[in-house]
Chain A
Amino acid sequence: MSEIAQPSPIAVPLGAVRPLLLNWRRHVPLLLVAPLLIYMLVLYALPVLAMLLRSLNDPTWTLSHYTALFEDVVFAKTFWITINTSVTVTLGCLVLGYPVAMGLVRAKAMAPLILIVILLPFWTSVLVRSYAWMVLLGRHGLVNEGLIAIGMIDRPLRILNTPLATQIAMIHILLPYMILPIANALRQIDPSLIRAASGLGATPFMTFRQIILPLSMSGVAAGTLLTFVLALGFYITPAMVGGPRDITLSMLIAQEVDQLNWPYAATLSAVLLATALAILAAARHLPGVGNAFRMSMR
């Protein structure tokens, strides 16, 4: 024992090297993400920043582009339509998605099939799906022809190019973002809790309201947030199936870019980005949201 306790000549250099080795190990995760980080910084973050700067320094440093928005009727209306559409779509996704999430969690043998059906839209481009909705919702589309065939209506309804068409198509596209976080939260609920509630005298509805719903709120919050923020920036779908006068912020930005009105487009982009960030920041304080986010990303 005494021999080992004595300082050996090798002990000194090893002792000096060890912290360096440890440091090197600690930085391995950073080194692994570095290539992507540099790629994103150079090709994404910097251009976005340069773009946003044009709302402040074009032609000279000024806040006038922002102050002008307060009197801008077109902006006000567009902003309202954007928020309104996003809220409606999010609520639609929640109402339609929650039961599906429950079905997904309850199903045993059918679960993989249900999951594939939910994820199917992910594997098709938004453009293709929006085209599909144009075909379905058009004057001579499947929906109108079907309703006429069963005698519910005499003349085709005007669905395409209305806010309703935008909402229908967006709900379809965004549903998975609502379903998956909710399903994840539901899956975390210990089945014996539901049995316990039932054994203690709660009917299935009481069990849902007092046990299942509160315990799945983290998933509901995460799904709602994800859906809402994604809906805020939707462009292709409202542009294709929406009404010509129902312009959303992203459509307005595209219009201004077309007319090379860069400072105005940059200002609108900044507002859109700020809205999304503000909502995310506010929601961060909701209980369980951070947790649910992590889970849904598995």
Chain B
Amino acid sequence: MGEAGMNDAGRGASVTLADLEKRYDRVNAVDGVSLDILSGEFLTLLGPSGSGKTSTLMMIAGFETPTAGDIAIDGTSVVAMPPYRRNIGMVFQNYALFPHLTVDENIGFPLKQRGVPKAERAKLVAEALELVHLPGYGERYPRQLSGGQQQRVAVARAVVFKPRLLLMDEPLGALDKQLRENLQLEMRRLHSDLGITFIYVTHDQEEALTMSDRIAVMNDGKVAQVGSPEDLYDRPSDRFVAGFIGESNFLPAIVRGMEDDVVIAECDGALIRAMCPGRPASGDKVTLTTRPERLRFADSAWNATTPQNRLSVTVTEAVFAGERCRYMLQAGDGTSMVLKEPSSAAIRRRAIGERAEISWSVADTILV
């Protein structure tokens, strides 16, 4: 079993989506998605509900038929192939365990369909239970397990037949925060143990950042940006990505000039420098973005070693949030910004209405 698929270099399948489209009535749920998923990669499709991430996953699994475009697994188009021939593991949001079968029978189900003999089946099922830390639970029925245990069984069932690709549709969505964080780490471990390709769907940006090798941020049926967690956080390609992953400040500005790949833009009378891969023309109206935790009050004990941007603001709101203090600031032109700084006895608290000078690194400023 599975030997046929082992001739490839990696243990994981590569997946290519080419101009993938799915139309329901008049709505384009998936609208021209092209994506290369590498062998052995942990790729997350991240987006708000209705962004097309689940539809995309369902088309890879074969439960939905694309309206247009192509899906290739290891270079072979699978669009015309029914789900039961694709040999893909899948974990559903609600686990989808068969309620009339025991844990052993559930995990053995994919093996049985492949004609694996009974003795061999028992051995593989026991191994899979070991893998998800549930040995000894084989005789139970799904309803006798907790949500987290059911999720582990669902994972065991999805990998027991050694597929080269595992799809997961918000598998941790129904679990509480503590359990979710534990299982996130376990999924990572499972991924490195198995070495197969994972495609993971979630709307939780923290989960995506923690687990993924690469993230494809989806919005309105399109891929907004693909990159490593660091890429997406530090260099968001557009306003949507900057706003959806983490918190961002947006500064309206007018382009005044370029210095290599740094754009100089005027914002509230001050000249702000920002990283910019393109070549905007002088006079263009643009938006600059920067992260709240990367802003500093200019007069605090802070030794800047990199080129800095500076701006005068007024404090409009001050919130103490445990490990951090969070300030709402307003620039002269009415632009509001958020600044987060560590709550330390060494740092003076700002009062509402106080005028202040803030600074932040040019490298942390992105034109979107």
Contact = CB atoms under 8 A, between A and B. Distances in A.
A190 B161 CA distance: 23
Interface in B265-319: none
Interface-central residue, A193, A196, A215, by most chain B CB under 10 Å: A196
Contacts of A195: 61, 63, 83, 90, 92, 96
Nearest to B113: A201
Contacts of A200: 84, 90, 109-110, 113, 157-158, 161
B87 interface: yes
A155 B225 CA distance: 77
A35 interface: no
Interface string A203-239: 1001000110011000000000000000000000000
13 contacts: A190-B94, A190-B96, A195-B63, A196-B98, A198-B84, A200-B90, A200-B109, A200-B113, A200-B157, A200-B158, A200-B161, A201-B110, A214-B100
Across the A-B interface, the 7 shortest Cβ-Cβ residue pairs? A196-B96, A200-B110, A201-B113, A192-B96, A199-B90, A198-B83, A202-B113
Given A198-B63, A198-B82, A214-B100, A192 B92 contact: yes
Interface residues of B, number: 25
Contacts of B216: none
A197 interface: yes
B45 interface: no
Contacts of B157: 200
Contact of B92 (A196, A201, A215): A196
A202 B98 contact: no
Interface string B183-204: 0000000000000000000000
B121 to A, nearest CB: 13
Interface string B61-84: 111000000000000000000111
Contacts of B62: 198-199
Contacts of B92: 192, 195-196
B90 A196 contact: yes
B64 to A, nearest CB: 10
A210 B109 CA distance: 9
A46 B59 CA distance: 65
Nearest to A194: B96
Interface in B94-119: 94, 96, 98-100, 109-110, 112-114
Contacts, number: 61
A196 B91 CA distance: 8
B99 A199 contact: no
B96 A206 contact: no
Interface string A153-175: 00000000000000000000000
Contacts of A206: 84, 113
Nearest to B83: A198
Contact of A203 (B84, B94, B98, B99): B84
B88 interface: yes
Interface-central residue, A192, A197, A199, by most chain B CB under 10 Å: A199
Contacts of B112: 210
Interface of A: 190, 192-193, 195-203, 206, 210-211, 214-215
Nearest to B158: A200
Nearest to A217: B100
Given A214-B100, A215-B100, A202 B94 contact: no
Contact of B63 (A199, A202, A214): A199
A211 B106 CA distance: 11
A60 B353 CA distance: 107
A196 B96 CA distance: 6
Contacts of A197: 98, 109
Interface string B100-143: 10000000011011100000000000000000000000000000
Nearest to B88: A199
A206 B157 CA distance: 17
Contacts of A190: 94, 96
B62 to A, nearest CB: 7
A39 B94 CA distance: 49
Contacts of B86: 199
B116 to A, nearest CB: 10
A192 B98 contact: no
A199 B100 contact: no
Given A198-B84, A199-B63, A193 B96 contact: yes
A192 B174 CA distance: 16
Given A190-B94, A196-B92, A201-B110, 5 more contacts: A192-B92, A199-B83, A200-B84, A200-B158, A206-B84
Contacts of B88: 199
A210 B105 CA distance: 11
B173 to A, nearest CB: 13
A254 to B, nearest CB: 45
Contacts of A201: 84, 87, 110, 113-114, 161
A263 B63 CA distance: 65
A198 B85 CA distance: 9
Interface-central residue, A192, A197, A201, by most chain B CB under 10 Å: A201
A193 B142 CA distance: 13
Nearest to A196: B96
Contacts of B84: 198-203, 206
A247 B114 CA distance: 53
A202 to B, nearest CB: 5
